[in-house]
Amino acid sequence: MKTALFPGSFDPVTNGHLDVIKRALLLFDKLIVAVSVNNTKSGLFSLEERKQLLIRACKDIPNIEVICFEGLLVQAVQKYNAAAVIRGLRAISDFEYEFQMAMMNRELNKACETIFLMPSPEYSFLSSRMIKEIASFGGDISTFVPTVVVDAIRQKALNRKKINE
Ligand code: PNS
């Protein structure tokens, strides 16, 4: 049974991520979606919240497991015996960072292969960062993210409003 690991910050999961998940499952028997912290990004949701959102968003997708990991990606790859790391490539602008990360991970663990999957064109401009920005100004994000995420972002905004009242 071939397992792949799809790491990311998923803050929050978008329809683009779900598209990559479904594509990866056409190639592998099982996919581990691995939520982690990207030290260069500020987070809206906690790791556990991101994991729960992913679980709910993927409830109808078989052969998937959602986990959180701390530490190096190559350690998670080893722990879960993953044959490959899956990363989504939206545009050429993603490539430099992704290439550097893939090569560094291979340097850290010679067996760590990275496979890039392109999402459908309608998701090629989507990013979690933009979703958070649009939502923070009250924009409609419902066509970009699963319903569970729309509700969770709305709830976060309400909680913040209560704290500031
Ligand atoms: O969705 P993102 O923010 O692009 O995901 C980046 C992530 C979490 C996959 C990356 O930051 C990562 O692998 N973090 C774990 C720590 C690590 O291994 N860093 C070295 C990467 S070369």
How far apart CA 14 and CA 17 sit, in angstroms, is 5
Å from CA of 8 to ligand 1 middle: 6
**If you average pLDDT over every residue of the chain, what do you get?**
95
The answer to whether residue 21 scores a pLDDT higher than 80 is yes
Residue 107 and residue 74 in contact, taking contact as beta carbons nearer than 8 Å: no
User: Would the pLDDT of 38 be above 90?
Assistant: no
Task: Return the ∠ at Cα 101 (arms to 96 and 106), rounded to 5°.
Answer: 130
Tell me phi and psi for residue 158, to 5 degrees: -65, -45
Sequence letter at residue 48: E
Annotated catalytic residue, options 2, 41, 129, 154: 41
pLDDT digits (tens, 9 = 90+) for 91-117: 888 999 999 999 999 999 999 999 999
Q: Give yes or no: 128 in active site.
A: yes
Q: Which protein residue has the closest C-alpha to ligand 1 atom 22?
A: 101
DSSP-assigned letters across all residues of 9-66: --TT--HHHHHHHHHHHHH-SEEEEEE---TTS--SS-HHHHHHHHHHHTTT-SSEEE
Structure tokens at 118: 């392109």
pTM comes to: 0.95
**Residue 65 phi, psi dihedral angles, 5° rounding:** -135, 135
CA of 153 to the centre of ligand 1 (A): 23
pLDDT score of 73: 97
Please report which helix (H) or strand (E) contains residue 68, including its range.
strand 64-68
Q: Is the dihedral of CA 48, 26, 128, 76 positive or negative?
A: positive
- pLDDT exceeds cutoff 90 at 42: no
